[in-house]
Each structure stands twice: as C-alpha cells, then as structure tokens.
Structure 1
Amino acid sequence: MISVIVPTYNEEANIASCLESLCNQTLPRERYEIIVVDGNSKDATREIAERYADLVFVQTSKKVGGARNDGAKAAKGEIIATTDADCIIPPDWLERIEADFAGHQDAVQVFGLVYPKEKGIKNAISLALANFFSRVGALTHTIYYTLGCNTAFRRNVFLQVGMYRCIDAGDDLEIARRTRKVGTVLLDPKLRVAFDMRRYEQFGTLTSLWEWIAIVVRGGDSETYSYSKREYK
C-alpha cells in the first residue's frame, strides 16, 4: 500500500480539487490511502477533506514538516508519498511511484518535477528554473531539489533518517541530504504535478529558490540556524 500525506491549513478553496485528483488514480483505490493532516484550519478544510480522505486529523507537531511526520506515523503503507493541498495530481502519479520503487530496489526516495497551475510565461519560466535545478542536482549528485509536493519514500527509511525537520522552509530539500546516505534518491522526470504559484508570487521566484538552496547547503539544522517566519496567503 501507498500512503499519501497531504498537509493543510485554510485550504478550503483548493483541497477538493487536490483530493479529487488523488481519488482518480490509475492505481486501484484499495492499494492506497489518503491522509490529510490539518494545521487546525479556521475554515471548512477538514470538513471538505473528510469527503475524500481515509483519515483526517489535526497535527500535533510543528510546521508543515511536522504535519507530514504526523501523517507518516499514522500511515499503513510501505511507501509514503507527499503532496500539497493546492496541487493537482495526474492520474498515473501513484502508479508511476510504485513502478519506480519496484524497478529500482536501491531507491529510498523518488521525486519528480512541477509545472504551473496558472498560465503565463512568467510562471512557466519560474518552474522551468526549478526543474533545471532538479535535473542538474540529480545528474551531479549534489543538491536534490525534492519538493514536498512531489516526492515519495520507503517508509522504513523515512522513519530511520528521522523524518522531516520542523523548520520554516527547505525541509523538503534538506531531507534528501539524509536519505541519500542510505540509498539512491531517484529523479523521475515524468513524475509531474501541477503546482500552485501563489507562494512564488508572494515571495518572488529567486528569493524562494535561494532560501531553499541556502538551507540545504547549511545543512538544515533547525537548532543551529534561524529562519524567517512566514505568513502564507
């Protein structure tokens, strides 16, 4: 079984579309579960999520990384897949994740690329840059640009390496520094999800990319480094 973890907070405008796309996978529904871990939303996020997900609960750990960790602890699957509540997932996403792990026994983490939900040349260029970092990093075995909206782990390795760091940003990139010490971190360029651009638009593409990369380079130690506290729209 694959367990899909979706962290949420005040996502009533997006969560239904995300979960509908997860319910319409080519992988039979009985072979995966959907777990929504909510940051105590003030809107109808949890009520909407309960129409689709197998399990919905309020997180007890801090930040988005902590929400993913809470979901993994409750998961039944041998594979943990993570995405974001404002993403749209293609129908073959889980089937491709399953095939990637089956075809690469040394793989402990699989990740893919992103494309913008919103149209426009600026958005296309922004994510082309992010995908460029993903490809170059994977090719050179340096920085693994493993965005939390499109990544999956063998559950035993995820728990073994200590799961996500509970930091403000870059937790999804930092974890690959630890998983790669255990096995292969595999990029599947055909594993793609539709990515919401609102945070790139809010903070700026280059600022967001630089912040994430800087955290990875520094090691992502939340007890050593101080990160700016963000309020997302």
Structure 2
Amino acid sequence: MESPPLSVVVPTIRGWPFAKLVLDPLREQAPRTGTEVILLDASGQPPPSKDEVGFPVRWLERPGASVFEMRREGYGLAQGQIIATTEDHCTVAPDWCERLIASHAAHPAAVAVGGAVENGTPGRTLWWAAFFRTQGPFMPPIPTGPTDRLVGAANLSYKRRMVERLGPEDGIHIDNLDMPALEPGEVLYADGGLRVAHHQPTSLWRTSVLDFHNGRATAGKRRERMGRQEWIRLGSMGVLPLYRTLRTYRTIRAKDRPAGTLERAMPAVAWLHLCQATGELVGYASGPGNSPSELY
C-alpha cells in the first residue's frame, strides 16, 4: 500500500468537542490531498462518531498521557512521507496541507519545515501578551528560506527520514530539544506563507500557570543533559526574565500587529516571563514533575 504524502499528528488533553477547532479546517483539505490525520486523546472523554468528525481521522485514546508523549507516539505511527504536527488550539490555513507538501518537494535538503503563527484570539491585551511571549518570533512576517530556528509544535513538519532517526519513545518529547542533529547537506527551512492561527483565550491566572508549567517541563527536560549552555542559563536566571522581556519587545516591533498592542501588553509579557523562569528554576531543581501533563 502506497504511503500518504503527508501525516498530521495532533495530541489533545481536552478531547471532543474541543478538537473540532483543529479538525474542522482539515475536513476538506486532508481528503483532497490524501493526508493521514492522527489524533491522540488523553481526555478520557468518549470519542466522536465518524459523522461528527466528517472525514477519516485515526482517533487514539490515551487517557492521562501528556501532549509530549502523545506527539512522540504519533510520529512513530504516522505513515506519511512528511510528518507534521499542530496543536489542538490551532486552526490551519485552507491551503496548509498543499503548501506543506509543495514546500517539502521544492526543498529536498530541508528535513524540517516550519511556518508562521497568527494570533487567533486578538480580543484582549492579555491574550496578545501571551501570544507575543510564546509565538512572537514566528509572527508574520518571517523570512522564507534556510534558518537555524523553527517554530514549535503549532506549525512544524519533518521529512520521514528525520523522524526515523529519533531514539526510543519513552519519556516526554519536546521537538526543539529532542530532534536529531542535522546531517551534512541537510537544512531547516522556514516558509512564511505556511500559516496557522493560535487560539488561547485564557485568564491571567490560567496563563500564568501554563507558563510556569511550560518552564518547568522544558527545564526538567534540559536537566537530563546539563551541558555548558544549560549551566549558563541556570546561572543567569536572576536576569533572564528581564532579558527575555526586552528581547520580546525588540522582536515584536518588527512584526505586523495593531497599533499600541505591544506597548499595552508589555507589563503582562514581563509577568509571564517571570512565571516561566520560576517554573524553570523548579524544573532544574527537581525535574518536570507533573507539568508535562498540564500543558496542551
């Protein structure tokens, strides 16, 4: 049986009907392009019927698993020549599947292709602040071409040969930390026209908690292999929130955004960077704990 040109892996801890958000934009383009869609669900809720979903989706129930564990499992199950991932709170553009396939075909040396991320919830200053902090470097416009840094799991894809070089499936998997090193001649490639919208309309408390857990999960993972860079990061924790806040401001100034949004968001951006750094300190000290299971 011929393998599909593209597999899309989506982990969720919120299940159905929340997952309609990510699946509905794939309803027409996945069958049109022969794309395989794999959704791994840790919610423990009943899965939807085939009629409710509206197109073929491989729905796998994984009660209690983290999004990191499910994404790694999904990579191993995917049959596509290209293996992509997005998040359950993202909506892909109507041409996303076609553009992914075309971008990989046009750049055979690109073992990973990432795109841009737009803010799907622009209604409040807090939501802009959370978006600036996490997705700011990948807001449009982003340069198209080889790069040394790609977007995270919101809009990321790999050629099969890259995924096949992954190690064992156990433990949490964070894409920008766990993917294999590039081999000679391979590149990472950014496609500025490959877009998804990111939706996170949460309260200040919930956003703060999520950023704490994000910091703890990431630092807990880094703790497994403390090298020079990790020790420098740990040693600079006292000033890191301020540095990151200033870096966010410099980055977003060059991005497309409503006038005044950045300036109004900066106090919340600074607070959220502090929440992340606090989580990192806990992660370096005691590991990731239950933080991976709290993230989506």
Q: In structure 2, the residue corresponding to 1:173 is in which secondary structure? A: helix
Deviation at 1:95, TM superposition (A): 1.1
Deviation at 1:118, TM superposition (A): 1.6
The CA distance in 2 between the partners of 1:192 and 1:205, in whole Å, is 27
Q: Match of 2:36?
A: 33
The CA distance in 1 between the partners of 2:56 and 2:216, in whole Å, is 30
Alignment of 1:80 with 2:83, yes or no, is yes
Q: Which runs of 5+ in 1 are unaligned?
A: none
CA contact (8 A) 2:20 2:53 kept: no
CA contact (8 A) 2:213 2:295 kept: no
Alignment of 1:24 with 2:28, yes or no, is yes
Structure 1 counterpart of 2:61, one-letter code: V
Q: Match of 1:15?
A: 19
CA contact (8 A) 1:109 1:185 kept: yes
Alignment of 1:227 with 2:231, yes or no, is no
The CA distance in 1 between the partners of 2:160 and 2:40, in whole Å, is 17
Deviation at 1:57, TM superposition (A): 1.4
Q: Match of 1:6?
A: 10
CA 1:30–1:171 in structure 2 vs 1: closer, same or farther (change >3 Å)? same
CA contact (8 A) 1:33 1:54 kept: yes
- 1:102-124 CA-to-partner distances (Å, cap 9, x unmatched) read 11111011112222222225233
The CA distance in 2 between the partners of 1:164 and 1:196, in whole Å, is 29
Runs of 4+ in 1 over 6 A off after TM superposition: none
| Superposition TM-score, scaled by structure 1 size | 0.75
CA contact (8 A) 2:217 2:289 kept: no
Q: In structure 1, the residue corresponding to 2:111 is in which secondary structure? A: strand
The CA distance in 2 between the partners of 1:209 and 1:38, in whole Å, is 20
The CA distance in 1 between the partners of 2:170 and 2:195, in whole Å, is 24
Q: Match of 2:156?
A: 151
- 1:124-144 CA-to-partner distances (Å, cap 9, x unmatched) read 3543454443459x9873xx2
Structure 2 counterpart of 1:42, one-letter code: G
Deviation at 1:162, TM superposition (A): 2.8
The CA distance in 2 between the partners of 1:59 and 1:213, in whole Å, is 20
CA 1:112–1:175 in structure 2 vs 1: closer, same or farther (change >3 Å)? farther
Q: Match of 1:124?
A: 128
Q: In structure 2, the residue corresponding to 1:24 is in which secondary structure? A: helix
Q: Report the aligned-residue RMSD.
A: 3.8
Q: In structure 2, the residue corresponding to 1:109 is in which secondary structure? A: strand
CA contact (8 A) 1:65 1:164 kept: no
CA 1:232–1:152 in structure 2 vs 1: closer, same or farther (change >3 Å)? closer
- 1:58-116 CA-to-partner distances (Å, cap 9, x unmatched) read 24995222212222222221110111122211111111111111111110111122222
Compare the two structures and name the one with the higher helix fraction. Answer: 2
CA 1:16–1:149 in structure 2 vs 1: closer, same or farther (change >3 Å)? same
Aligned length: 223
CA contact (8 A) 1:19 1:53 kept: no
| Pairing partner for 1:43 from 5, 25, 45 | 45
| Superposition TM-score, scaled by structure 2 size | 0.61
Q: Which runs of 5+ in 2 are unaligned?
A: 227-283
Deviation at 1:15, TM superposition (A): 1.0
Alignment of 1:133 with 2:143, yes or no, is no
The CA distance in 2 between the partners of 1:37 and 1:10, in whole Å, is 10
CA 1:228–1:115 in structure 2 vs 1: closer, same or farther (change >3 Å)? farther
CA contact (8 A) 1:109 1:153 kept: yes
